[in-house]
Every structure is written in structure tokens, then in C-alpha cells.
């Protein structure tokens, strides 16, 4: 049969194909594609899910958003729920339990085996946005005194107990990480070879309390398929796989973009109207207050504006260009902080660079607007005033776009959360102040 189906063909196949065909070809259909079908056709979701293998349902739940996971699971009776839960990985179960109330959590825990429930409870004891909070406890570890033959036999017996077996982690009797070996090492060596003789002791580990954003950056830096998570005594607690790291990077990137735009990280495109209003309205009210503040600055110069009406035409250009320049710097700095590219070693160099960018871009834009101002008003003083105001505001914008996220980071506040409001306020207020203030000082040359 045709495997590369479009969405409509896939929907019809899942709904009407013989059960045997669905089971036969299921490994050729990615669970994300099925999840898309369920989202776009909610009226068919139960019928489709009810025809899928329980292992496939578990992988679909793994791929679903947190709020969707439980909605899918509770479609089934208790016995089937229990079978699906047994197929799910511990980190995904921990994510699911993390969004449920106590009663629902206890119901779900009662459907797990004692071992799975213990593992999930352990994961829930860690902060959810740390390495330990996102790791999986299903991994295969071997002892350094084992032979290749013993290791192969052990792998065959425990092949379903790990999210990844590309790399095996070697531990001692106290579960302390000693190193790693790859499947290649196992395949190319003799059966009698001791693990201790081929072990790679240079293993890059992740501390259990490392922030998840740093975890994602570490995967990007080293390109590993999995990395071990260890505690302060170097005991192996679990592993994080590359698919989890990719999810972290996507979520953190989405969060930063949302927050730079004054939108909550939790808001989703398919979320409810109520949630969207709840997330957006507070930031709009804060922006309203800053706009009132900027308007108050303009109000201080009403007399000057009355004498030279053209000031009202050009003042929004000064503040607007400053806002654009500040946003450019802010975006680069926030992303640099998120990726760990800004450190104490290069912070001064980055500041000097942004300051120079402000001078150069401000001079260029200031010169252009000065010429346009002169042409508009046929007054050289008007052109000089708006040109100087533009240069000053562009410098302020780039410096503010650098300083604000750095300060917020030092105060342990997410720099993406509030930086844009502060930067916009600075550029609006100071843009108006520079332009109208200079016009007031040199009013005799304008009238």
C-alpha cells in the first residue's frame, strides 16, 4: 500500500482499513502525523485511537501538548489506560502528572506498576525546568567488570528498558558513572573483552539541577544523541535524549519570542479566547501606562508644539526609529543570553560594539532625517535639531537594548519577559524629550 499519504488519505486509512493493515504499517506512520489528524478531526478522534495499538497511542500521547495528553488518555476505559501508561516513558508520565490535580494524579499513579510509580514520583520531586525534571529514568547501564558477551546478553534481556541504546553508560557498584561505550565498541571487539578495557572515561555529563535551557544549548554544542544526568556524587540518575533536547529548544525559543512580543509563553494558537485575553490584557495595560507616561512628556512641551506644528509630525519618527533600534539590540542580547554567548569575558566588548552601532546608525539615520527636515521646513535649524535628537535617541536605544536584559538577568528575572516594555519606554520618553527639549531651547531659530 501507499505509505506517503496526504492527511485525508491517512484519515480514511486509520478509520476504515482492516485492523491487521493498521498494525502492519503502523511503524511507517509517524505519531505526529496521526496527532495532526486527531487535532483537525476531533469528531473522529476516538474511533481512530480505538483502532491503534496501545504502544502507538502511548507514543502519540508522548508527542502531544501537556493539556492534550490527559484528554487523550481518559478517552479509554481503566484497563486500557493502564496498558497505555505502561508503554509511556517516565519523563512523559511526569509531565502528564505535573498538570493534573491531586485526585487525578493518584488515579493515574494507581494504574502504574510499583516500579514506574516510584520512578515517576522521583522525577516529580525535581524542579520541572531542570535536567532532572526532564530526564528519563529508562536507561541501560553496565558494570565495568562485564565482558562484551555478557553485555550483549544483558542488552537482549533488557532491550525494552531504555529510550536509547546507542550509548551505554558504565557504572560502579555505587551507581557512580565511570564512562560510556558505544554500540560500535561492542560490535568490533571480541566477546571476552572486558568493558573496563574499552571504556571512554571522557563523558560529558549534565548536573541534575542544570536549567533546561542550558541543557538544550549543551546538546546543540556537542551534537550528542543522549547525555547522562548525574547528582553531586556523580551517580547516574537518568538520561536526556536528543528528541527531548529539541523539544526544549523549540519551547524556549517560542517562549522568548512570545515574551518579547508581550505574550505569555503558555498561549497557544489553538488555545481558548478566554486564555488569550487573560495572557495578553495585563501586558497591554502596562503598555498603556508607559504610553501615558510618554504622552505626559509631550504635554510638557505643548507651547513649543503650538509655535512649531511640524514638530508633531516628526516627533513620532524619532521615537519610532529609536524603538526599532532598541528592539534590534534587545533581540540579539536576549538570544545571546539564552544561548550562553554573553559572559563576563565578552560583556564589555559587546557593550562597546552596541554603543558604536548606535553612533554609526544614529549618524546615518540622523543625517537623512536632518536633510528631510530641512527640505520640509526650509529651516536648517529644524533639520539640525531633529538630526541631533535622532542620533542621541539611537545611541540610547542600543545601549538600553543591551543594559536592560543584562540587568534583568542579574536580578534573576527572565530578560525576555519585561525588556521590551522598558526599552520602548526609554526610547519613547527620551526621543520626545531630546527632540522637543532641543526645539524648546532653540525655539527662536524655528519661528
The pLDDT assigned to 264 comes to 62
pLDDT band at 122 (very low <50, low <70, confident <90, very high): confident
Going from N- to C-terminal start, the domains of the chain cover 7-131, 141-260, 273-445
CATH of domain 141-260: 3.10.580.10
Count of CB atoms within 10 A of residue 217's CB? 20
- pLDDT at residue 2 above 60? no
User: Over the stretch 356-411, which tens digit does the pLDDT of each residue have?
Assistant: 999 999 999 999 999 999 999 999 999 999 999 999 999 999 999 999 999 988 88
> What whole-number distance in Å separates Cα of residue 376 and Cα of residue 250?
48
Q: What are 325's three cell numbers?
A: 533600534
The pLDDT assigned to 100 comes to 82
pLDDT band at 229 (very low <50, low <70, confident <90, very high): very high
- pLDDT at residue 279 above 90? no
Instruction: Calculate the CA dihedral of residues 56, 60, 61, 67 and round it to 10 degrees.
Output: -160
Provide the mean pLDDT of the chain: 86
- pLDDT at residue 275 above 80? no
> What whole-number distance in Å separates Cα of residue 319 and Cα of residue 404?
18
User: Over the stretch 48-71, which tens digit does the pLDDT of each residue have?
Assistant: 988 888 888 988 888 888 778 888
Fold classification of 273-445 is Tetracycline Repressor; domain 2 (1.10.357)
The pLDDT assigned to 270 comes to 65
DSSP type of residue 235: B
Instruction: Return the SS3 of 230.
Output: strand
Look at the block and give the residue holding cell 571504556: 199
Across the range 73-99, mean pLDDT stands at 84
Strands 236-241, 226-230: pairing is antiparallel
Instruction: Give φ, ψ of 446 to 5 degrees.
Output: -105, -20
> In this predicted model, which residue has the larger pLDDT, 157 or 216?
216
The pLDDT assigned to 273 comes to 80
DSSP string, 143-197: ETT-BHHHHHHHHHHSGGG-S--SEEEEE-TT-BEEEEEEHHHHHHS-TT-BHHH
All residues at 6 or more sequence positions from 306 whose CB lies less than 8 Å from its CB, including other chains: none
The pLDDT assigned to 1 comes to 47
> What whole-number distance in Å separates Cα of residue 79 and Cα of residue 66?
22
The answer to whether 421 and 290 have CB atoms below 8 angstroms apart is yes
DSSP type of residue 432: H
248-257: long-range contacts, CB 8 A cutoff, minimum separation 24: 248/134, 248/212, 248/213, 248/215, 248/216, 249/216, 249/219, 249/220, 252/212, 252/213, 252/216, 252/338, 255/416, 256/334, 256/335, 256/338, 256/416
- pLDDT at residue 163 above 60? no
CATH of domain 7-131: 1.25.60.10
Look at the block and give the residue holding cell 531542570: 130
Which stretch of 111-125, 162-176, 420-434 has the lowest confidence by average pLDDT? 162-176
Ramachandran quadrant class, 172 (left: phi over 0; alpha: psi -120 to 50; beta: rest): beta
Beta-carbon-side half-sphere exposure of residue 27 (alpha carbons within 13 Å): 1
The answer to whether 117 and 87 have CB atoms below 8 angstroms apart is no
> What whole-number distance in Å separates Cα of residue 34 and Cα of residue 38?
6
The pLDDT assigned to 403 comes to 93
pLDDT band at 10 (very low <50, low <70, confident <90, very high): confident
Q: What are 110's three cell numbers?
A: 494507581
Look at the block and give the residue holding cell 560583556: 347
All residues at 6 or more sequence positions from 218 whose CB lies less than 8 Å from its CB, including other chains: 204, 206, 210, 227, 245
The pLDDT assigned to 392 comes to 96
Q: What are 309's three cell numbers?
A: 506644528
The answer to whether 321 and 394 have CB atoms below 8 angstroms apart is yes
- What percent of the chain shows pLDDT beyond 70? 94
User: What Rg do the C-alpha atoms of the chain give, in angstroms?
Assistant: 30
All residues at 6 or more sequence positions from 320 whose CB lies less than 8 Å from its CB, including other chains: 431
Strands 177-182, 167-171: pairing is antiparallel
pLDDT band at 161 (very low <50, low <70, confident <90, very high): low
User: What is the maximum alpha-carbon separation in the chain?
Assistant: 97
Strand partners, 143: 171
Amino acid at each position: 500500500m501507499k505509505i506517503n499519504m496526504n492527511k485525508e488519505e491517512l484519515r480514511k486509512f486509520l478509520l476504515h482499513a482492516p485492523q491487521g493493515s493498521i498494525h502492519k504499517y503502523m511503524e511507517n506512520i509517524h505519531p505526529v502525523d496521526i496527532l495532526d489528524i486527531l487535532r483537525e478531526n476531533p469528531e473522529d478522534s476516538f474511533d481512530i485511537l480505538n483502532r491503534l495499538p496501545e504502544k502507538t497511542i502511548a507514543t502519540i500521547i508522548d508527542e502531544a501538548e501537556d493539556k492534550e495528553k490527559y484528554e487523550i488518555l481518559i478517552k479509554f476505559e481503566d484497563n486500557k489506560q493502564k496498558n497505555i501508561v505502561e508503554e509511556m516513558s517516565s519523563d512523559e508520565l511526569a509531565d502528564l502528572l505535573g498538570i493534573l490535580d491531586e485526585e487525578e494524579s493518584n488515579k493515574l499513579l494507581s494504574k502504574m506498576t510499583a516500579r514506574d510509580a516510584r520512578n515517576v514520583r522521583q522525577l516529580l520531586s525535581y524542579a520541572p525546568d531542570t535536567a532532572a525534571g526532564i530526564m528519563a529514568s529508562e536507561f541501560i547501564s553496565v558494570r565495568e567488570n562485564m565482558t562484551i558477551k555478557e553485555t550483549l546478553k544483558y542488552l537482549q534481556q533488557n532491550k525494552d528498558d531504555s529510550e536509547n541504546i546507542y550509548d551505554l553508560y558504565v557504572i560502579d557498584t555505587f551507581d557512580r558513572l565511570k564512562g560510556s561505550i558505544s554500540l560500535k565498541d561492542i560490535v568490533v571487539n571480541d566477546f571476552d573483552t572486558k568493558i573496563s578495557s574499552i571504556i571512554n572515561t571522557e563523558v560529558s555529563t549534565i548536573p541534575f539541577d542544570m536549567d533546561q535551557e542550558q541543557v538544550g544549548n549543551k546538546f546543540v554544542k556537542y551534537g550528542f544523541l543522549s547525555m547522562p544526568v548525574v547528582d553531586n556524587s556523580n551517580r547516574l540518575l537518568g538520561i536526556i535524549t536528543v528528541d527531548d533536547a529539541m523539544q526544549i529548544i523549540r519551547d524556549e525559543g517560542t517562549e522568548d519570542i512570545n515574551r518579547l512580543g508581550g505574550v505569555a509563553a503558555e498561549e497557544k494558537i489553538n488555545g481558548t479566547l478566554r486564555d488569550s485575553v487573560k495572557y495578553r490584557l495585563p501586558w497591554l495595560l502596562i503598555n498603556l501606562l508607559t504610553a501615558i507616561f510618554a504622552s505626559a512628556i509631550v504635554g510638557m512641551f505643548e507651547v513649543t508644539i503650538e509655535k512649531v506644528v511640524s514638530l508633531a509630525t516628526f516627533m513620532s519618527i524619532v521615537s519610532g526609529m529609536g524603538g526599532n533600534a532598541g528592539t534590534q539590540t534587545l533581540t540579539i542580547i536576549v538570544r545571546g543570553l539564552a544561548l550562553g554567548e554573553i559572559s563576563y569575558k565578552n560583556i564589555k566588548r559587546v557593550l562597546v560594539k552596541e554603543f558604536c552601532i548606535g553612533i554609526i546608525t544614529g549618524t546615518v539615520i540622523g543625517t537623512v532625517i536632518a536633510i528631510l527636515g530641512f527640505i520640509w521646513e526650509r529651516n536648517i535649524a529644524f533639520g539640525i535639531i531633529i538630526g541631533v535628537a535622532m542620533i542621541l535617541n539611537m545611541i540610547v536605544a542600543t545601549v538600553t537594548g543591551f543594559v536592560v536584559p543584562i540587568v534583568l538577568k542579574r536580578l534573576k528575572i527572565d530578560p525576555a519577559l519585561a525588556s521590551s516594555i522598558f526599552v520602548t519606554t526609554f526610547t519613547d520618553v527620551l526621543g520626545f524629550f531630546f527632540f522637543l527639549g532641543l526645539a524648546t531651547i532653540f525655539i527662536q531659530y524655528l519661528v
